[in-house]
Amino acid sequence: MTNQLLTSVQDSLQLTTDVTPIAPTAAQMQKIFGTLEQDLPFCEDSAFKGMLNFADNLEEPIHRWYYYKEGYSHRLVSQVLKRYPRPNGYPGVFDPFCGAGTTLLVAQQHNLPAVGIEINPFATFISQVKTNWHKINPIKLKNALNRIIENNNINCSKLPALTTFHNEKYFPNNHAYQLIHLRESIRRCRTTTEIKNALLLALTATLEDVSCLHKDGRALRYHPRDVISPKEALHRRVMIMLEDLESIQNRPHHEVTVLKGDARHSSLLLSKKINIDHFGLILYSPPYANNFDYSEVYKCELWLLGMLNSYEQWKQLRLSTFRSHPSCNFPITHYLKEDPELREIYRLVEQTARCQNIGGTRAYKRAPSVIRGYFDDVFLMLKEQKIKLAPEGYIVCVVGNSRHGNLHIPTDAIIAKIGQAIGLELVEIYVAKYRNDRKNKNQRLRESLVVFIKK
Ligand SMILES: C[S@@+](CC[C@H](N)C(=O)[O-])C[C@H]1O[C@@H](n2cnc3c(N)ncnc32)[C@H](O)[C@@H]1O
């Protein structure tokens, strides 16, 4: 951290200590954050306009095979590749939170070697199927689909243990059973693994077409509506796949590797599994500190594909995710506290976690540990990325700020400070979007690209 920035953080903390030794108000914290942000290189123009949501991808071949709401646009990746060039000799692109594989697919299309890591087995599966599109034979896919649709002989009546599947309100007209029949039919179909996986992905993509469930913000909500039969929905989804495979059959592509694993321990995993020592670009969007639990929102997909078979396994999956939500009791760590270089940032995070206006009684109990755990995890992920980043290579972290109670947390600025403290050079904080705060219409939350370079 430069002296100037250090002084600025120290001033802020001094202010905190002077004004509120125990629990600062949101207004006091906002002042502290304001001081913190003064020296940071924020910039803003329209280069990334409209690129922070997945909706854009619904028109794009392959990307549209599964609607992963929390992903970003394929155009963002192309823009980043242009704006932050990879140093000579380091063409590799790494996404440690690869989700549905947007970064990987675009890198592949630019003929660049790409590697992704993802903790959620369903998201890992989406990325694997999509980046293996070139191994899917369209004629075999169509034949397999026809056989599956015509097959009425499977007799399997065991639903997954997840209670959601047992509720007729969510899955009317016996649709839960029909989904399981289709899954079994796909599993038993005599065809290649790539074709089976493509069909299974298409089957998960039908979930919102055949049920009265809707992914809405942080939850899966009951949304009564007309549904179509699982067979018809599957047929439609596979037709889209076939159309895409035909339209891009001659597109160049590089081999992509997708690993199931933890971004907070990525360097070891990469060293074991990948023969790329250093990456020229690390581009990703981590979970935001907004209480969103991916294992909850994608639970039907996880259970339908047999990636979860018990509530205990579900709990274990939750426990292995980034600490961005309060759905389980994560272990407590003290990484920021223990590192002398990070002591000032630790104190800032601690003040934030102790803020008295952090929400109602329930939130007041849960938010502090989310805030502490989240920034400890940020520290871990950045340290790991630094190890695998080439000299002169860029890290581009796409992140949104969040609100807890009346407190707006400038996640982008705090990530910038943590990166600097571990020895990365901060290039810019590129503000790409302002989201309206649902509760307070006058407030807007930034979504930014925090950009570092390794000197
Ligand atoms: C914002 S999404 C990334 C979306 C991605 N950029 C895309 O366009 O599809 C964040 C992802 O991080 C994953 N994740 C959560 N904890 C993780 C961890 N410890 N290691 C790796 N991935 C994790 C989530 O499952 C989620 O898919």
**Alpha helices, DSSP H only, in 84-192?**
102-109, 121-131, 138-150, 175-188
Cβ–ligand 1 distance for 56 under 6 Å, the answer no
Structure tokens, 304? 């339908």
Q: What mean pLDDT value characterizes the chain?
A: 93
Percent of the chain whose pLDDT exceeds 90: 86
Residue nearest to atom 13 of ligand 1 (CA): 97
For the chain, list the domains and their CATH numbers: 3-119+261-291+326-453 (3.40.50), 134-247 (no CATH)
C-alpha of 112 from chain center: 22
Strand, coil or helix: 237? helix
Distance from C-alpha of 35 to C-alpha of 53, rounded to nearest angstrom: 30
Question: What is the distance in A from the centroid of ligand 1 to the CA of 97?
Answer: 4
Cβ–ligand 1 distance for 400 under 6 Å, the answer no
Identify the CA nearest to 347 among candidates 2, 1, 16.
16
Identify the CA nearest to 158 among candidates 298, 317, 309, 297.
309
Distance from C-alpha of 425 to C-alpha of 404, rounded to nearest angstrom: 29
Residue 360: predicted pLDDT: 79
Mutate to test the pocket of ligand 1, among 56, 104, 118, 402 (most ligand atoms within 8 A of CB): 118
pLDDT, tens digit, for every residue of 125-146?
999 999 999 999 999 999 999 9
Question: What is the distance in A from the centroid of ligand 1 to the CA of 124?
Answer: 9
Cβ atoms of 323 and 356 within 8 Å: the answer is no
Count of beta carbons in the 10 Å neighbourhood of residue 27: 12
Identify the CA nearest to 381 among candidates 321, 440, 435.
321
Question: What is the distance in A from the centroid of ligand 1 to the CA of 187?
Answer: 27
Question: What is the distance in A from the centroid of ligand 1 to the CA of 239?
Answer: 28
**Alpha helices, DSSP H only, in 20-93?**
26-38, 74-83
Shortest-distance atom of ligand 1 to CA 262? 20
Question: What is the distance in A from the centroid of ligand 1 to the CA of 12?
Answer: 32
Residue 427: predicted pLDDT: 98
pLDDT, tens digit, for every residue of 194-204?
999 999 999 99
Name the pLDDT band for 237 (thresholds 50, 70, 90).
very high
Question: What is the distance in A from the centroid of ligand 1 to the CA of 3?
Answer: 34
pLDDT, tens digit, for every residue of 103-119?
999 999 999 999 999 99
pLDDT, tens digit, for every residue of 4-54?
444 444 444 443 433 346 799 999 999 999 999 999 999 998 999 999 999
Cβ–ligand 1 distance for 386 under 6 Å, the answer no
pLDDT, tens digit, for every residue of 265-291?
999 999 999 999 999 999 999 999 999
Residue 7: predicted pLDDT: 43
Q: Which whole number is the average pLDDT over 388-408?
A: 96
Distance from C-alpha of 200 to C-alpha of 43, rounded to nearest angstrom: 43
Highest mean pLDDT among 209-223, 350-364, 382-396: 382-396
Cβ–ligand 1 distance for 264 under 6 Å, the answer yes
Cβ–ligand 1 distance for 57 under 6 Å, the answer no
Residue 289: predicted pLDDT: 96
Contacts of residue 161, Cβ cutoff 8 Å, sequence gap at least 6: 303, 309, 310, 311
Residue pointed to by tokens 């003064």: 38
Question: What is the distance in A from the centroid of ligand 1 to the CA of 104?
Answer: 13
pLDDT, tens digit, for every residue of 406-436?
999 999 999 999 999 999 999 999 999 998 8
Could you say which DSSP state residue 56 is in? G
Taking each helix axis from N to C terminus, what angle separates 411-421 and 343-353, rounded to the nearest 10 degrees?
160
Question: What is the distance in A from the centroid of ligand 1 to the CA of 24?
Answer: 32
Residue nearest to atom 6 of ligand 1 (CA): 71
pLDDT, tens digit, for every residue of 246-264?
999 888 888 899 999 999 9
Structure tokens, 166? 């047992």
